[in-house]
Structure 1
Amino acid sequence: MSLLPITLVVITHNEADNIARCLDSVPFAAEKLVVDSGSTDDTVAVARAHGARVVHQDWLGFGPQRNAAATHCSHDWILALDADESLSPELARELEQGLPALMASEVPAAILRRRTIFMGRAMRWYRPSVGEKMARLYHRGRARWSDARVHESLRFEGSVPTLRAPFNHVNNPTLVHKQLKVLRYSELKCLDWLDKGKSVRMWQAPFVYWLSFVKDYVFRLGALDGWRGFIVAHTAASYALYKRMRYYEMRHHPESVRLAEAALLRHGIER
């Protein structure tokens, strides 16, 4: 596979178990860049062993961290993957064949389809996990990540192409990982709400769980994936409810922001 003038960017923190698979899945990238926020495991060593250049960047939040990472790239075209994501062989071939024409055009980005691996195998029916469309390939002069601490999105103007083959996402290898992620993402989302002065709206809380559960289990076809679909719908609904309860606490007990940050750091979870 010939090398193409594109940078694979991965932002990491304690991803030693995942980073090799991610980096090795993009053999055509002329540059592989890992932007690490202070891993205490072997992430940095493994990344370097698999051909990546590693730079340190203190954690800024997902959106700002991705924008900071883009400034370290040697190429304008960037493929952004998370450490628990990797290209399928089919997508790697599609990109190798299509990237030269794409990079010669004036388009700002391209949409990739993400396939989720949950509890050891791919989800078959649950809509957000089957071909979820995500902008991950872009020109850094024509697109930029939003500044959100979490649930960031790539911002650009104009129409963009969508690739056919999927990339893979190993979504939370255990439910323990999932719950830790819920704690971290909830904290980040609530801090964004706090910065914006969002109203609390606790009156919504009794309805949030059930509306979210029905949306994912019924309308997004989680039910067709059996008990795994039930678990996904439950964890999504629990996350929707917990965010609102945690935000209520932040607004009514401001000291909880500092106390929670210290508790998360004791468990190796950076905010």
Structure 2
Amino acid sequence: MQTFPLSLVVMTYNEAHTIARCLDSVPFAAEKLVIDCGSTDDTVAIARACGARVIHQDWLGFGPQRNFAQAQAGHDWILALDADEYLSPALVDEMTAALPALLVSDKAAAWLRRSLIYMGAPMRWYRPAVGDRMARLYHRDRARWRDVRVHESLEFKGPATELKAPFYHLNNRSLLEKQLKVLRYSELKCLDWNDRGKPLRMWQSPWVFVLAFFKDYVLRLGLLDGWRGFAISQTAASYALYKRMRYFEMKHDPDSVATAATALRRHQLDR
């Protein structure tokens, strides 16, 4: 397949089970770059076997790590994927047709559509999981990731185009892994809140779970995906409530920050 002056950039930590599929799904990238923060499994060896250049960087937080990664890329146009994401064959065809014009244009980015695979199958109705619109293809001189520990998003200046075919996200291989991710992301979000001095609004907490569940299960059509929709809505609502309770604890017991960091390291969840 023809290649284009484009860098596929992937951040990894113990992703041996997914990294090959991710890298192999982008056959048109002239460069495949993996930024690894200390994997203890075969991630690095597999990435190199797939033709990727691997750079080690201790974990900086999601936004800073992505900004570090794009600075290491050999090309200005970057496709950013997570290790548990991969392009569909339809998107490969669409991108190879669109890239010749896009790469010489004044566009800052391209919106891609992400579809979620949850509990072993694609979600069919739940709106955030069906065609989630994300800026993942961009020119690095016209865009930068928000400098936050978690829930980073790409900020760019200039016009953007949009591609229609999906790329896929294997959300988590089990609910256990999802719950562990909720704990880790909550801690990172609370640390960001703490840095900004976000005010406590615990009076909202009794309603947070109910309203978050209603939004995802009813308004976002989770109920049409059956028990999988119930599970994903419950997890989202629990995350919304738990991070507020954890932030309350963090403000009232500052020593809990160090205690939690020790626990996360013990369970290898500190990135």
2:122 aligned partner: 122
2:91 aligned partner: 91
Shift of 1:14: 0.8
1:204 aligned partner: 204
Shift of 1:100: 1.0
Shift of 1:157: 1.9
Kept after mapping to 1: 8 A contact 2:142/2:158: no
* Structure 1 residues 79-115: Cα deviation after superposition (integer angstroms, max 9, x where no partner): 0000000000000111111111001100100000000
1:160 aligns with 2:155: no
1:190 aligns with 2:190: yes
Shift of 1:159: 3.0
1:269 aligned partner: 269
Equivalences for 1:235-246 in 2 at 5 Å?
235-246=235-246
Deviates more, 1:158-167 or 1:128-137: 158-167
Equivalences for 1:47-62 in 2 at 5 Å?
47-62=47-62
Q: 5+ residue gaps in structure 2? A: none
Equivalences for 1:38-187 in 2 at 5 Å?
38-187=38-187
What SS class does the counterpart of residue 81 from structure 1 fall into?
A: strand
Amino acid at match of 1:10: V
CA–CA distance in structure 1, aligned partners of residues 180 and 43 of structure 2: 19
Amino acid at match of 1:225: D
What SS class does the counterpart of residue 223 from structure 1 fall into?
A: helix
CA–CA distance in structure 1, aligned partners of residues 158 and 51 of structure 2: 34
Shift of 1:148: 1.0
1:6 aligns with 2:6: yes
2:252 aligned partner: 252
- Equivalent pairs: percent with the same residue? 68
Q: Kindly report the root-mean-square deviation, in angstroms, between the aligned alpha carbons of the 2 structures.
A: 0.6
CA–CA distance in structure 2, aligned partners of residues 67 and 36 of structure 1: 14
* Structure 1 residues 107-164: Cα deviation after superposition (integer angstroms, max 9, x where no partner): 1000000000000100000000000000000000000100011111100123311101
Deviates more, 1:33-42 or 1:152-161: 152-161
Amino acid at match of 2:43: T
TM-score (norm 1): 0.99
Amino acid at match of 1:147: D
Shift of 1:6: 0.2
CA–CA distance in structure 1, aligned partners of residues 251 and 42 of structure 2: 38
Shift of 1:240: 0.2
Amino acid at match of 1:246: R
CA–CA distance in structure 2, aligned partners of residues 76 and 10 of structure 1: 15
CA–CA distance in structure 2, aligned partners of residues 39 and 204 of structure 1: 39
Runs (4+) of structure 1 exceeding 4 A deviation are none
Amino acid at match of 1:143: A
* Equivalenced residues, count: 271
What SS class does the counterpart of residue 147 from structure 1 fall into?
A: coil
* Structure 1 residues 67-86: Cα deviation after superposition (integer angstroms, max 9, x where no partner): 00011100000000000000
Amino acid at match of 2:25: S
